[in-house]
């Protein structure tokens, strides 16, 4: 592969054909994006509080379901890190009427897939089946969400597996550096929970912990169900009403949690490992998805390091200097402010040079306005690639879920272009100054420190 | 060269292989231009996007020791400027038009793609046709990109102990065939590659007669074919592409390799030499693979991960989409406190069951259902559909894809036992083991 996934974003429409690159820039900039007029789907609130988002797609006899439940790490007790995640993963490991093996046999037999997993803000459940098996699929989905038994043997097995997986990940430089960075930025905040925290808790996890978390957090109230595929509104609403009728509401409540620590200077953490590359992560707390500056940040970050080969970091560090295969920056915009992070790997000997160039680029985006061409190119890509963000059922389900979680409205695809096109050079300078602060950053450098000879 | 529509329509073929239901219908238009370029078009109107892909029949298979990694490095150089679009312009033009682009190299092929809104399709053609014939290969850009590839190798292999072991296992399994070396190339070889090597590799393999264009998406086939002809039709046919004559001889006994690396847990890969997708046995091997490894109800997961709890992960894969015969391998990551011996034996217990007892009716039907559902679900992604067409066409023939499900449906229990006995023998096996060592 020539490059690893570079922050996939969005789209434009230009009539006519390409004559020269410069001319296309002008065209793409001048012609506004055109979108289909119809909304992405329907929103239906069921009697039990479940929010159904439905996008009918009848081209293929397939149904894709994606559910979001407010049962992520953010609501787990601070002294039980990993509880949310392990609870989610145990749902498919046995119910009142099915063993773990029966569940996997039934879903595998129809060639479908079913999984539940944890996350920072939400737990998510995903189902994909052929149209003809949609009844069976919903039987299984409802059963694992409503009737899990948390058998002690299954808990023991999952704990053992998770601990082994955590140990294995210590082979992966990217994971080690990433975890250290997360801890440095978020501290005791739930977004800062690491493998080490989880490994310390798991040996004392109890069935009671899991059952309590489950009954407090899993229920139809505020549960989001995005369905994309070969079904009608009537069918889906009936299926949900029938299968989830007896689901008891979750108790909920928002437990308070710690704030991320203040970083008072450039906080450098050197980690020694006998590997050929320095793995470098630097950054700080960024923005939430609902921050009004979100769109300005998206455009700014595209220019800085989110835009693949169109970004400054890639141009400087990879294209001009040949120092790295991958260098990028990202803002994890979640329910709460997630991390702004710059990430790269370079041979140990060139770590100092790469870091110096990253700092140069951070300083430049904070002090100099971006060029008109950079701004136009970023907008052209972000608006023009929107159809590619909706070209599979799973992607549409993901967008529907985001629309509900972040209150974006079902006309979000139609509004997206104007949200992006409204961003100015001044906005970009302002948000870069506001959300990127090289003097108050966490920096993790993992590698062979003898060769790295870090100057920071 | 002027285009003559009648000539390039000679091989126009609209294939409706549908006899047994939904999954079989290919709806692919095949055309061969006079310069030898094969064009596969598949209209898919469910969303207003298109994927444009160019597949070259060149990969690590076409290289030699001392210069391994040329195909992959050339893939990188294809983004470093051509006559009309200079250095840095390629991806920027695609992105400015709201598209994503990338490329990938394997042992058998090198493929380039652009995913775009449907009305931007022509841009991809302009870009790809330019770099099919007018690559700059700037000397300075070349040296810098060679360093980038070294960094890629450090990231993907040198600092990943399991990958290092798998690389060694492949190098051990094949003695006379180029599948022995990694696609990215050995580190020293990457450093040996010169700009002149790139030029030669490019001139030898990048020609319309060694390429397939695959387009899937929201377009009109007739208009699109005319556009492909407009952009690619005048590119002159290249010289005959040199054949790869290498044939891996029959293996005469088990081969084993241990890799000692700083790592947390041991891992094991055991590969058997098997035929590729052109063999009638490939269908039984695919069903067998599914029973061994598809889903949590599959045998390897059930036995090694769930019941015995001796493996953190376990599975099996069959490299059937391959120009020459490749491997069927089973693998496992070993749980703390368990020995690689125990896990290796447990893998062979499952292999031996395949040879010695018929699979259950439920397992056979499940594997067939999974293949069918998988085929239908894969149609959701235009990119993936195009990728399958490109892969099949480049290593063999895209029409095999249309026969895939029928082949799977026809597999009987006896076929599975037969292929297991025939190929899964100790003498035909190569085993790689990652042995973790502690820091010095």
The chain B residue lying nearest A129, using CA atoms, is B373
Residue A10 is assigned to a structural domain of this protein? no
Average pLDDT over residues A151-163: 98
pLDDT digits (tens, 9 = 90+) for B214-258: 999 999 999 999 999 999 999 999 999 999 999 999 999 999 999
State which of A196, A215, A243 marks the end of a domain: A243
DSSP per residue, B125-179: HHHHHHHHH-B---HHHHHHHHHHHHHHHIIIIIT-HHHHHHHHHHHHH-SSSGG
Q: How far is CA A395 from CA A53, A158, B381, in A?
A: 14, 29, 10
Average model confidence (pLDDT) for chain A?
Answer: 91
Same domain? For A238 and A273 the reply is no
ipTM score: 0.92
Same domain? For A332 and A364 the reply is yes
List the CATH number of the domain containing A268.
3.30.830.10
Q: Nearest-CA neighbor of A224 among A133, A335, A135, A332? A: A335
pLDDT digits (tens, 9 = 90+) for A39-49: 889 999 999 99
Cα separation of B143 and B138, whole Å?
9
Domain ranges of chain B: 5-232, 255-437
- Chain B residues near residue A323 by CB distance under 8 angstroms: 147, 151
Same domain? For A407 and A328 the reply is yes
Active-site residue (options: B30, B44, B75, B141): B75
Q: What is the pLDDT of residue B16?
A: 34
Same domain? For A101 and A127 the reply is yes
The answer regarding whether domain B5-232 maps to CATH 3.40.630.30 reads: no
Q: What is the pLDDT of residue A254?
A: 81
Q: Are B218 and B43 in contact (CB under 8 A)?
A: yes
Residue A5 is assigned to a structural domain of this protein? no
Same domain? For A270 and A383 the reply is yes
- CB-count burial class (<10 Å; 0-12, 13-18, 19+) for A148: buried
pLDDT digits (tens, 9 = 90+) for A283-316: 999 999 999 999 999 999 999 999 999 999 999 9
Same domain? For A229 and A317 the reply is no
Q: Is A309–B298 a contact, with Cβ atoms under 8 angstroms apart? A: no
Dihedral angle, C-alpha A346, A351, A357, A360, nearest 10 °: 140
B-contacting residues of A 232-291, CB under 8 Å? 274-277
The chain B residue lying nearest A109, using CA atoms, is B366
User: pLDDT class for A398, splitting at 50, 70, 90?
Assistant: very high
Residue A133 is assigned to a structural domain of this protein? yes
The answer regarding whether domain B255-437 maps to CATH 3.30.830.10 reads: yes
Residue A408 is assigned to a structural domain of this protein? yes
Asked whether the predicted pLDDT for residue A56 surpasses 60, the reply is yes
Q: Nearest-CA neighbor of B438 among B161, B226, B249? A: B161
Specify the pTM.
0.92
Q: Is A322–B119 a contact, with Cβ atoms under 8 angstroms apart? A: no
State which of A196, A213, A243 marks the end of a domain: A243
Contacts 24+ apart (CB under 8 A), B64-68: B64/B178, B65/B181, B65/B189, B66/B189, B66/B192, B67/B185, B67/B189, B67/B192, B67/B193, B67/B197, B68/B181, B68/B182, B68/B185, B68/B186, B68/B189, B68/B190
Residue A253 is assigned to a structural domain of this protein? no
Same domain? For A227 and A269 the reply is no
**Residue with token string 């953490």:** A269
Indicate if B255-437 has the same CATH topology as B5-232: yes
The total number of structural domains in chain A stands at 2
Residue A12 is assigned to a structural domain of this protein? no
Same domain? For A348 and A373 the reply is yes
Q: State the nearest Cα–Cα gap between B251 and chain A, in angstroms.
A: 32
Same domain? For A199 and A106 the reply is yes
Same domain? For A231 and A336 the reply is no
Q: What is the pLDDT of residue B440?
A: 57
**Residue with token string 């597949």:** B55
Tokens (6 digits) for A15: 């009539």
Residue A278 is assigned to a structural domain of this protein? yes
List strand residue ranges (DSSP E) for B165-266, in order. Answer: 211-217, 255-262
Tokens (6 digits) for B228: 């492909």
Average pLDDT over residues A204-223: 96
Same domain? For A165 and A221 the reply is yes
DSSP state, A438?
G
Active site residue B75: yes
Domain boundaries, position A187: 46-243
Residue A137 is assigned to a structural domain of this protein? yes
Cα separation of B201 and B59, whole Å?
10
Low-confidence ranges of chain B (pLDDT < 50): 1-23
Q: Are A251 and A75 in contact (CB under 8 A)?
A: no
């Amino acid at each position: 592969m020539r490059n690893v996934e570079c922050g996939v974003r969005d789209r434009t429409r230009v009539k006519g054909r390409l004559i020269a690159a410069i001319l296309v820039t002008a065209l793409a900039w001048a012609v506004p994006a055109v979108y289909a007029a119809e909304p992405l789907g329907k929103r239906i609130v069921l009697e039990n509080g479940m929010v159904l988002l439905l996008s009918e797609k009848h081209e293929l006899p397939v149904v894709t379901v994606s559910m979001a439940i407010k049962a992520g790490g953010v609501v787990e007790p601070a002294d039980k890190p990993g509880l949310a995640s392990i609870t989610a993963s145990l749902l498919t490991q046995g119910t009142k009427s099915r063993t773990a093996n029966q569940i996997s046999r039934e879903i595998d037999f129809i060639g479908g897939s079913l999984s539940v997993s944890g996350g920072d803000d939400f737990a998510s459940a995903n189902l994909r089946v052929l149209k003809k098996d949609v009844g069976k699929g919903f039987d299984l989905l409802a059963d694992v969400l409503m009737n899990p038994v948390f058998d002690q043997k299954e808990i023991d097995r999952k704990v053992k597996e998770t601990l082994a997986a955590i140990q294995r990940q210590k082979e992966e430089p990217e994971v080690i550096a990433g975890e250290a960075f997360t801890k440095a930025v978020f501290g005791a905040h739930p977004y800062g929970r690491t493998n080490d925290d989880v490994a310390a808790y798991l040996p004392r996890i109890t069935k009671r912990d899991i059952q309590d978390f489950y009954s407090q957090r899993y229920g139809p109230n505020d549960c989001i169900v995005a369905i994309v595929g070969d079904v009608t509104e009537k069918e889906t609403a009936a299926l949900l009403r029938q299968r989830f009728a007896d689901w008891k509401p979750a108790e909920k409540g928002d437990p308070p949690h710690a704030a991320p620590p203040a970083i008072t200077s450039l906080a450098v953490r050197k980690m020694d490992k006998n590997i050929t590359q320095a793995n470098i992560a630097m950054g700080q707390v960024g923005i939430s998805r609902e921050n009004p500056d979100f769109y300005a940040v998206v455009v700014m970050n595209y220019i800085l390091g989110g835009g693949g080969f169109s970004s400054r970091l890639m141009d400087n560090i990879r294209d001009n200097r040949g120092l790295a295969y991958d260098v990028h920056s990202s803002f994890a915009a979640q329910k709460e402010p997630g991390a702004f992070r710059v990430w790269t790997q370079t041979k140990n000997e060139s770590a100092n040079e790469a870091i110096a160039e990253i700092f140069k680029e951070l300083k430049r985006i904070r002090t100099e306005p971006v060029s008109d061409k950079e701004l136009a190119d970023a907008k052209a890509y972000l608006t023009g690639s929107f159809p590619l963000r909706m070209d599979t059922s799973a992607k549409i389900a993901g967008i529907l879920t985001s629309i509900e979680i972040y209150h974006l409205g079902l006309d979000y695809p139609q509004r997206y272009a104007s949200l992006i096109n409204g961003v100015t050079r001044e906005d970009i300078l302002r948000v870069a100054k506001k959300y990127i602060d090289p003097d108050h950053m966490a920096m993790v450098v993992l590698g062979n420190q003898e060769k790295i000879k870090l100057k920071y | 060269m002027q285009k003559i529509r009648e000539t390039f329509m000679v091989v126009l073929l609209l294939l409706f292989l549908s006899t047994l239901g939904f999954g079989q219908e290919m709806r692919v238009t095949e055309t061969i231009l006079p310069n030898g370029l094969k064009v596969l078009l598949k209209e898919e109107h469910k969303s207003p996007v298109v994927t444009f892909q160019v597949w070259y029949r060149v990969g690590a298979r076409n290289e030699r020791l001392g210069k391994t990694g040329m195909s992959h490095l050339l893939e990188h150089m294809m983004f470093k400027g051509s006559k009309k679009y200079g250095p840095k312009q390629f991806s920027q033009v695609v992105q400015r038009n709201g598209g994503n682009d990338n490329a990938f190299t394997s042992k058998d092929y090198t493929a380039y793609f652009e995913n775009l809104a449907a009305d931007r399709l022509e841009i991809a053609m302009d870009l790809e046709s330019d770099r099919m014939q007018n690559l700059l290969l700037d000397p300075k850009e070349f040296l810098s990109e060679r360093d980038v590839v070294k960094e890629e190798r450090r990231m993907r292999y040198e600092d990943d102990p399991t990958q290092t072991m798998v690389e060694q296992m492949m190098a051990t399994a094949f003695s006379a065939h180029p599948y022995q070396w990694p696609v990215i190339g050995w580190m020293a070889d990457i450093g040996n590659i010169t700009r002149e090597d790139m030029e030669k590799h490019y001139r030898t393999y990048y020609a319309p007669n060694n390429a397939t264009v695959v387009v899937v998406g929201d377009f009109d086939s007739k208009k699109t074919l005319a556009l492909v002809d407009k952009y690619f039709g005048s590119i002159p046919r290249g010289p005959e592409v040199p054949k790869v004559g290498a044939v891996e001889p029959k293996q005469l006994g088990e081969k084993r390799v241990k890799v000692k690396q700083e790592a947390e847990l041991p891992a094991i890969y055991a590969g058997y030499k098997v035929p590729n997708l052109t063999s009638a046995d490939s269908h039984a091997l695919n069903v067998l693979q599914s029973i061994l490894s598809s889903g949590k109800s599959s045998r390897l997961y059930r036995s090694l991960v769930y019941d015995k709890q001796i493996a953190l992960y376990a599975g099996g894969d069959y490299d059937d989409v391959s120009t020459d015969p490749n491997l069927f391998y089973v693998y496992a990551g070993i749980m703390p406190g368990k020995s690689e011996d125990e896990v290796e034996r447990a893998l062979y217990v499952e292999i031996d069951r395949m040879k010695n007892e018929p699979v259950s009716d439920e397992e056979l039907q499940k594997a067939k259902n999974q293949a069918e559902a998988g085929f239908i679900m894969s149609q959701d992604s235009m990119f993936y559909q195009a990728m399958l067409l490109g892969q099949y066409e480049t290593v063999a023939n895209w029409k095999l894809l249309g026969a895939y499900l029928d082949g799977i449906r026809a597999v009987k229990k006896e076929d599975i036992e037969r292929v297991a006995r025939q190929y899964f023998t100790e003498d035909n096996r190569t085993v790689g083991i990652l042995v973790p060592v502690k820091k010095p």
